[in-house]
Structure 1
Amino acid sequence: MPKQSLIRFINIALRGITLASKFLLIFFLAKFLEPEELGLYGLLTVTIGYALYLLGFDFYTFTTREVIKQEKGNWGGILKNQSVLSIILYLAIFPILSLIFIKDLLPWSVAGWFFTLLVLEHITQELGRLLIAVSEQLLASVMLFLRSGIWAVFVTFLMLMRPDTRELNIVLISWAFGSLAALCLGIYRLKQLNITGWHKHIDWKWILRGLKTAIPLLVATLAVRGILTVDRYWFAELTNLETLGAYVLFMGVSTALLSFLDAGVFAFLYPAMISAHHNKDAIAFRLKSKTLLLQTLIFSCIFVATALVAIDPLLIWLNKPLYLAHKSIFLWTLLITLLYSLSMIPHYALYAQGLDRPIIHSHIASLLIFIPVTWLLSRYWPLQAVPAGLCIAFLFILLWKCLAFVRLTPAQYR
């Protein structure tokens, strides 16, 4: 087996184990924790996920392109500039995030864990993105395995063996240790790369230029991720924290599709698409685009078929009537994730060409559609309003990006 194929196989295997670990974790949490605790865990994780965008400011969308285009001797200056920006953002955003607890959106009992996990997740996420950009996908997968996989296996085994550990705090402690291990590995590898250019002065003009690129994308990201954060809070408001636990369970299972595609397909193909476009290699760009389409469709079909077959036995094993009573929600969450995953095909094709405007416009418009549609549906079908609103929003994004790709991509690149 060629070296590149072997690396990719190991990478996909690691990501697959990670996803399986997260999949098992959400089911064991559903079995061992009360639905209210699972609902709180879901609120905490999506809020951390949303806050990550505020801290990162989506600046990686600019630095990724710069790192790929620049010589290694310039990488240190690029990373130094991004680090300075991150420090400024920490000082500005953390006081704002405190309002989450002041306004009782989340209880103060998880405030310490929220900020600790947020910092660890942000730094490890940025290191992972850097490693992907410099073609270190395998190590990025190992880091992901540490921050999202191994600790999930550990806490699942621990809860099986010791009933007294079946509480949310044990889950959060394990999460923190996993992220810390990933952080240490990422820093160690960063030193091994012998990146130079750290001595360069902070380039404020470069940072401002990056912000001009990143902020519009950030607005778009905050819009689409806002939908996938507000949905939990809105769903809890329309139903209750117990039913939210069922929604969190089904969304956790369904979003494994997007995680698998990101690991096994997107992470390998979009850097190559950026390089092909930068080098004006239309043949390579067209080939990578078609590969992206084909692999996404194949993996999505396999995942959906497997999920539909497996869901009933898994819910029976949980032995909690609440989840079985709300099984219809699973079909909605599966459709949501499928539409979102398919929209990433034209998304990466546009992003690789630097065509950010249609991405931005589609994401902002989707939020403007989601809110009134969900509000209207909530008056008649409170249980289905949020997932139906998400389906409509993501279908809109998919159609918008496909149309933009056809209209804006030169014929030789299609």
Structure 2
Amino acid sequence: MFSVARLSRVANVSLRGLTLVSKFVLLLALAKYMTLVEVGQYGVLAATIGYALFILGLDFYTYSTREMLNVDRTLWPAMLRNQAVFYVACYATMLPVFYVALEWSDAFSDRLVVWFIVLVILEHLAQELSRLLVAMSLPVSATVLGFLRGGIWVFACIAVMIAVPALRCIETVLVAWACGSLCAVAFGLASIRGLLVSDVPRSRIDWRWIWRGVKICTPLLIATLSIRGLSVFDRYLQGFVAGREALGVYIFYASVANAIQAFLDAAVFSFQYPRVVKAAQSKDRSDLGAAVRQLTRATVFTVIALSLVASIGIKPVLDLLHRPIYAEHLGMFFWILAGVVLFSMSMIPHYVLYAIRRDRAILAANLSSVAVFVVAAFALAPHLQTLAIPVALTVAYGTMFASKLALCRSFGASR
């Protein structure tokens, strides 16, 4: 008989697998039913939303999670209240800036700008609730939230597009996405209702705690924006260098390869990095070494397994699409895959540096990688054309991996 713990683990892994599959199935549906230009437009919008999430919350969770894991849980409700006040202030200041910037840049049509605002709010709330559930050691609840946020709505959306050809458009996907995110937020709030209804002492908002968090997370935010910006600006640059149709191909292959990173974030990093942080806080080098080795084993095994599956499975997938232009640029996929593998491996020393509070070292490594990407992209563009951006991205991620690994060793924190 299965124990409750084993059943929970099976359910957890199964839902994460379904969420990963749903992203892949959505990608196939977009590639099959939409034009290359539409695929490119959706990919740029989705990437921009993902990037805006970091700016909207200023990556404040990097501070609040460390603080919450270091205090008694009776203090969590007050800390959550402070965090909620901070996010309200962020929404009030950042959302108008997003709207004006997108309208001014003319990157999207007016209707897509409105969808951008709606989705970035829902996605940020769902994301923060998911992180909180992980910190509360509720992995199954976090997985269910993730499935609502990025899984189940995809299947409903595809069913609609198959049944009603007239609805094979970006708006259908965005409506389904918003519904899924809204359900995820509702589920997340229900899951933490115990914290929400806890008796919090009537006291003023701890602005000093919030301000200290802003000062601490700002270097990490800049570091995150710099490196995550690569997976947004590469799309804009690909469209500029290679054209809108080549952008659609790039979006397709990047989405396939990035599914590996998405799975790692959900199934490995979100559960392993709190252990590394706790081990670092314990000041016991043997505990830290054990946590880092566990993170390394899980990351390497997962990256190798998923990379092999992607490399073997991409050809049959292209055969299903019956769109020759994707097969013509298959080399692009393997360059993108190589970049994702290097980025994934770089997250091991990244989390070690984060755990030992070497935030400025993370910032330096990320900024140097951005500089490498920009130089490589413009240097390669005249010679490689459609491959210039994926090759430059791979070089940048390789630089980041090497620099963070070297920094870990210099601080005496290598495994």
TM-score (structure 2 length as normaliser): 0.96
In the alignment, which residue of structure 2 is the partner of 1:408? Answer: 411
Distance in 1, matches of 2:163 and 2:284, equals 56
Distance in 1, matches of 2:200 and 2:66, equals 17
In the alignment, which residue of structure 2 is the partner of 1:373? Answer: 376
- Residue 101 of structure 1: CA displacement? 2.4
- Residue 227 of structure 1: CA displacement? 1.1
Distance in 2, matches of 1:238 and 1:218, equals 29
Relative distance call for 1:341 and 1:196 in structure 2 (3 A) is farther
Distance in 1, matches of 2:382 and 2:178, equals 40
**Of residues 247, 251, 258 in structure 1, which corresponds to 2:250?**
247
In the alignment, which residue of structure 1 is the partner of 2:52? Answer: 51
Q: Which residues in structure 2 correspond to 1:93-104 (within 5 Å)?
A: 93-98=94-99, 99-104=101-106
In the alignment, which residue of structure 2 is the partner of 1:13? Answer: 14
* Paired letter, 1:247: Y
Distance in 2, matches of 1:52 and 1:393, equals 23
Distance in 2, matches of 1:200 and 1:3, equals 41
Listed one character per residue, the Cα deviations across residues 68-104 of structure 1 (whole Å, up to 9, x for unaligned) are: 1111221122112112221222222222212122221
2:305 counterpart of 1:297 = no
Listed one character per residue, the Cα deviations across residues 306-362 of structure 1 (whole Å, up to 9, x for unaligned) are: 111111111111011221111111111111110110001111122122222221111
TM-score (structure 1 length as normaliser): 0.96
- Residue 196 of structure 1: CA displacement? 4.4
In the alignment, which residue of structure 2 is the partner of 1:61? Answer: 62
Q: Report how many residues are paired.
A: 412
- Residue 3 of structure 1: CA displacement? 4.9
Distance in 2, matches of 1:305 and 1:215, equals 37
2:303 counterpart of 1:306 = no
Give me the CA root mean square deviation. Answer: 1.6
Distance in 1, matches of 2:42 and 2:198, equals 39
In the alignment, which residue of structure 2 is the partner of 1:151? Answer: 153
Gaps of 5+ in 1: none
Relative distance call for 1:11 and 1:129 in structure 2 (3 A) is same
Q: Does structure 2 conserve the Cα–Cα contact (< 8 Å) formed by 1:333 and 1:387?
A: yes
Q: Does structure 2 conserve the Cα–Cα contact (< 8 Å) formed by 1:332 and 1:388?
A: yes
- Residue 25 of structure 1: CA displacement? 0.6
Mean Cα deviation higher: 89-98 or 108-117: 89-98
Distance in 2, matches of 1:231 and 1:306, equals 25
Distance in 2, matches of 1:371 and 1:2, equals 52
Gaps of 5+ in 2: none
Structure 2 residue matching 1:69: 3-state secondary structure: coil
- Residue 59 of structure 1: CA displacement? 0.4
In the alignment, which residue of structure 1 is the partner of 2:273? Answer: 270
* Paired letter, 2:314: I
Mean Cα deviation higher: 398-407 or 92-101: 92-101
Listed one character per residue, the Cα deviations across residues 211-237 of structure 1 (whole Å, up to 9, x for unaligned) are: 111000000011011111111011001
2:318 counterpart of 1:315 = yes
Q: Does structure 2 conserve the Cα–Cα contact (< 8 Å) formed by 1:238 and 1:378?
A: yes
Distance in 2, matches of 1:138 and 1:246, equals 35
In the alignment, which residue of structure 1 is the partner of 2:220? Answer: 217
Distance in 1, matches of 2:70 and 2:386, equals 48
* Paired letter, 1:267: S
- Residue 283 of structure 1: CA displacement? 2.9
Distance in 2, matches of 1:7 and 1:356, equals 35
Distance in 1, matches of 2:191 and 2:20, equals 23
Q: Does structure 2 conserve the Cα–Cα contact (< 8 Å) formed by 1:238 and 1:383?
A: yes
Structure 2 residue matching 1:197: 3-state secondary structure: coil
- Residue 296 of structure 1: CA displacement? 1.1
Q: Does structure 2 conserve the Cα–Cα contact (< 8 Å) formed by 1:77 and 1:199?
A: no
Relative distance call for 1:142 and 1:298 in structure 2 (3 A) is same
Same amino acid, percent of matched pairs: 37
Relative distance call for 1:291 and 1:306 in structure 2 (3 A) is same
Distance in 2, matches of 1:212 and 1:191, equals 30
In the alignment, which residue of structure 2 is the partner of 1:185? Answer: 187
In the alignment, which residue of structure 2 is the partner of 1:341? Answer: 344
Q: Does structure 1 conserve the Cα–Cα contact (< 8 Å) formed by 2:102 and 2:113?
A: no
In the alignment, which residue of structure 1 is the partner of 2:389? Answer: 386
Mean Cα deviation higher: 106-115 or 147-156: 106-115
